[in-house]
Amino acid sequence: MGRLLQPGAAIAVGLIFLVPILWMLITSVASDADVFTFPPRLWPAWDFSNYAKAWGKSPWLTYFGNTVLIAGSVVLLVLITSLLAGFAFALMRFRGKGVLFLLVMSAMMVPQTVLLIPNFIMAQKLGWYDTYLIQIVPWGASVFGIFLLRQFFLTLPKELFEAAEMDGAGPLRMLFSVAAPLAAPSLVLVALNSFMGSWNAFVWPYIMTKSDAVRPIEVGLQAFYGTEGTDWTGLCAAVSFTTLPIIVLFLFLQKYFVTGVYGTQGSVRG
């Protein structure tokens, strides 16, 4: 009895957490008549026309393109800034290092919502309101990234760099030809962390932009929800095709996602 209880409970837990996602998929292929009945029809009707219907109603390709462009740029910037700063904080000596590192770590304590008002005012002054720039540049440095790479570089043996120095390599050569390649697993974590942050971003781009031409996918999805609020089959289809890329990415890179959780833990612990 006890032997069956644990696996049974594990299966039940898994199913309970999957139900909302399954329900999203089922509704996305339901017929409109099925949706407005109670009790709801639990078996899908396999009506895929909802996808075509939802796809035709919003500039989804623009939204997807914007998200890919924004997330890609953020990831690139974060990788560069984290490599440079992580390397300096781990392996170089300079005055004020401790204070400056504390300053970086303290940036993590500031909630994003707190930054909305001042950055909105600044974006309008700079002429960055409703642009890609305001969605990319402020997220181009990551405390998580700097911390993680610093931790990694600290573990590398000193001899590695002494040998390179004997060969006449400067700090930049050392960073890019010796240290960076070794840091590849950490870089994947940092990239994934920033990519997910950009993809899921909502309140920042929602406040900082107004036109579809620069808005990312989640803001587009919210707008679609605002106009098609009761078309549940179409809505669930839109939620499905905007979310499935993330789900697939997660299933392929699950290990990195989980390690990333422990990474955040480490960075918060400072």
Partner 1 sequence: MAYLLILPAMLIFLVFTIGPTIFTFVVSTFKWNWLNPDQNKFVGLANYQMLVDGSQDPPFAATLLTSGYFVGAMVVGGTAISLGLAMLLRQARRINVAARTAVFLAHVTPLVATSIVWVWIFNPRFGLANLVMSWVGIPNIDWLGNSRFAMPAVIIYSLWHEIGFTTVIFLGGLTTISTELSEAARLDGCNAWQEFWNVTFPQLRPVAIFVIVVSSVASLQAFTQFFMMTGGGPGFDTATLGFQLYQQAFVFRKTGYAAALAVILFSITVALSILQLRTTRSLGRTV
Q: Under rule CB under 8 A, which residues in 238-257 are in contact with partner 1?
A: 239, 242-243, 246-247, 250-251, 254, 257
Instruction: Determine the Cα–Cα distance for residues 199 and 245; give it in Å rounded to an integer.
Output: 10
Of the ranges 48-56, 77-85, 156-164, 177-185, which one interacts with partner 1 (CB under 8 A)?
Answer: 77-85
Determine contact, residues 139/198, Cβ cutoff 8 Å.
yes
- Of residues 46 through 65, those in contact with partner 1 by CB under 8 A are none
Instruction: Determine the Cα–Cα distance for residues 91 and 180; give it in Å rounded to an integer.
Output: 13
- Of residues 133 through 192, those in contact with partner 1 by CB under 8 A are 137-138, 140-141, 146, 171, 175
Binding of partner 1 by 45 (CB under 8 A): no
Instruction: Determine the Cα–Cα distance for residues 133 and 139; give it in Å rounded to an integer.
Output: 10
Instruction: Determine the Cα–Cα distance for residues 258 and 65; give it in Å rounded to an integer.
Output: 27
Determine contact, residues 114/160, Cβ cutoff 8 Å.
no
What is the closest distance, in whole angstroms, from the C-beta atom of residue 204 to partner 1 in the complex? 10
Cβ closest to partner 1, residue 102 vs residue 160: 102
Binding of partner 1 by 3 (CB under 8 A): no
What is the closest distance, in whole angstroms, from the C-beta atom of residue 154 to partner 1 in the complex? 15
- Tokens 């000193």 -> residue: 158
Q: Which of 147, 218, 234, 267 binds partner 1 (CB under 8 A)?
A: 218
SS3 131: coil
Binding of partner 1 by 10 (CB under 8 A): yes
